[in-house]
């Protein structure tokens, strides 16, 4: 298994600003992903964080808005850029291997 | 796009009752994972099923993967208040090391 931590756990930001969320895994994982979730609803995949190369984004998500870094096998960051109230959500990172994926506690973002 | 529909969407039952949650898709998955999520936390992996027709048991929870690897079910026997949460199925694409698509989710409330 893997233990995943995220920072910050929550933040309130003004529109037009950017926030970087950090995700740390306690062991080397093959895959890391970033998701968005509205409270009580399912998860929407934003992108796959690829180690040493550009992330792979899902339809509706673009690099300029959600730049992602993954410099090694245990760490990744997601930046939410030029935020608007529509970006208010819970952002979750996950890491794992084939057939198993572990999640961080999430970052609750509110944009005012 | 691989879609996973869960039913029911909401379920409120009395402690001690049995229940089944279904996860259906028209796509074939290499594996199917089930998660439970509580408010303020990330999803927690319960089980992964890989082989068509596979049945796995985790205490009072029984998971089954359809023969064609397109659907799955979660059966809970004698539900307890601690089972309350959001249950999510997630399908992993074929070929291994692929992204995971999450189902629509089932909110379960077990009333003492």
Task: Please answer yes or no on whether A101 and B86 come within 8 Å at the CB atom.
Answer: no
Structure-token pair, residue A68 = 């992602």
| Best residue in A7, A73, A101, A107 for a mutation probing chain B (most B CBs within 10 Å) | A101
pLDDT digits (tens, 9 = 90+) for A1-57: 899 999 999 999 999 999 999 999 999 998 899 999 998 899 999 999 999 889 999
The β-bridge relationship of strands B10-14 and B106-111 is parallel
Mean pLDDT for the stretch of residues B41-58? 95
Q: Residue B10 in 3-state DSSP? A: strand
DSSP symbol at B95: T
Residue B58 CA to residue B60 CA, distance in Å, equals 6
Question: Residue B17's pLDDT band (boundaries 50, 70, 90)?
Answer: very high
**pLDDT for residue B94 is more than 80:** no
Residues of chain B with Cβ-Cβ distance to A104 below 8 Å are 42
Structure-token pair, residue A86 = 């529509």
Q: Residue A108 in 3-state DSSP? A: strand
Is the alpha carbon torsion for B26, B29, B31, B37 positive or negative?
negative
Backbone φ, ψ for residue A98 (5° rounding): -55, 130
| Best residue in B1, B38, B43 for a mutation probing chain A (most A CBs within 10 Å) | B43
pLDDT digits (tens, 9 = 90+) for B51-74: 999 999 999 999 999 999 999 999
C-alpha pair distances (Å), A60 with each of A12, A63, A107: 24, 10, 20
* Nearest one of B1, B9, B7, B4 to B70, comparing CA atoms: B4
Burial class (CB in 10 A: 0-12, 13-18, 19+), A62: exposed
Residues of chain B with Cβ-Cβ distance to A48 below 8 Å are 99
pLDDT digits (tens, 9 = 90+) for A55-82: 999 999 999 999 999 999 999 999 999 9
Residue B39's region, left for phi above 0, alpha for psi from -120 to 50, else beta, is beta
- C-alpha dihedral over A30, A36, A39, A43, to 10 degrees? -60
């Amino acid at each position: 298994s893997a233990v995943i931590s995220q920072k910050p756990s929550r933040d309130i930001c003004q529109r037009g600003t950017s926030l970087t969320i950090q995700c740390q895994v306690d062991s080397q994982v093959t895959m890391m992903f970033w998701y968005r979730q509205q409270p009580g609803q399912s998860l929407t995949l934003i992108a796959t964080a690829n180690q040493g190369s550009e992330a792979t984004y899902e339809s509706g998500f673009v690099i300029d808005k959600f730049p992602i870094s993954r410099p090694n096998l245990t760490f990744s960051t997601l930046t939410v850029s030029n935020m608007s109230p529509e970006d208010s959500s819970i952002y979750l990172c996950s890491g794992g291997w084939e057939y198993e994926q572990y999640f961080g506690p999430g970052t609750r973002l509110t944009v005012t | 796009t691989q879609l996973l529909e869960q039913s029911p969407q909401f379920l409120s039952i009395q402690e001690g009752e049995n229940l089944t949650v279904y996860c259906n898709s028209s796509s074939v998955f290499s594996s199917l994972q089930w998660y439970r999520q509580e408010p303020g936390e990330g999803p927690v992996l319960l089980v992964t099923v890989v082989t068509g027709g596979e049945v796995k048991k985790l205490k009072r929870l029984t998971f089954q993967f359809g023969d064609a690897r397109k659907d799955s079910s979660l059966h809970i026997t004698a539900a307890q208040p601690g089972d309350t949460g959001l249950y999510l199925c997630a399908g992993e694409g074929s070929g291994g090391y692929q992204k995971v698509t999450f189902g629509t989710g089932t909110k379960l409330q077990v009333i003492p």
